[in-house]
Amino acid sequence: MFPWFSFLSYIIIMAITPGPNNIMSMNNAKNVGFKKGVKFNFGIYTGLIIIMILCLIFSSFLYNLVPKIQFPMKIAGAAYMAYLIFIILIPSKKQKDKSSNGSYLMGALLQLINPKIMMYGLTSMSTFILPYYSRILIQIFFAFLLASVGFIFTLLWALFGSLFSMIFEKHGKILNITMTLLLLYCIVSLFL
């Protein structure tokens, strides 16, 4: 049975936590306004779709070529989630200073150098999707789902950027503990 709760917890945590897409989207919307900043977000979405399909191809190739790679990929995914826990518990002030060039192309190209998105795609594909689904259409559906969830949260960061900043400042500890516990649950569920 597909672990929907673990999968959805993981992708929502990955999509909502600060990263290059969310921070740059928020700053871009602050600089040019939400309406003008949407083209940057659509660039991000295009890049996300491309990266998720590439992650699917890469993960499928490795998963089908060497079935024994599943456990090391789970270890890598768990290690990355542990790293995210560390980042959540010890937040960096540097992320708030990032700005962006708000073009569609820059949004798309950002994905090529975004390690968070690559780990998001590789971990999701190798841990949650490939062990349960072998049909290519279902796998492509999940690639689009992953990209769409990421896109929705970049739009939310753009739309509610200042609100999120206030929420994180005011309730940062509670949010960080909640995200940490959900990530720990995801790590444990990888090995169940």
Q: Is residue 138 part of a domain?
A: yes
Q: 125 to each of 24, 116, 143, 177, 178, how far by Cα in Å?
A: 25, 14, 8, 26, 24
Cα-to-chain-centroid distance, residue 156:
14
Q: Is residue 133 part of a domain?
A: yes
Q: pLDDT at residue 169 above 80?
A: no
Domain span at 158: 34-190
Instruction: For residues 127 and 136, give the distance between their C-alpha atoms in angstroms, rounded to a whole number.
Output: 16
Q: Is residue 29 part of a domain?
A: no
Q: Is residue 20 part of a domain?
A: no
pLDDT higher at 188 or 9: 9
Each residue of 89-114: pLDDT tens digit? 776 555 444 444 578 988 888 888 77
Domains of the chain: total:
1
Each residue of 50-83: pLDDT tens digit? 999 999 999 888 777 666 666 776 787 778 778 7
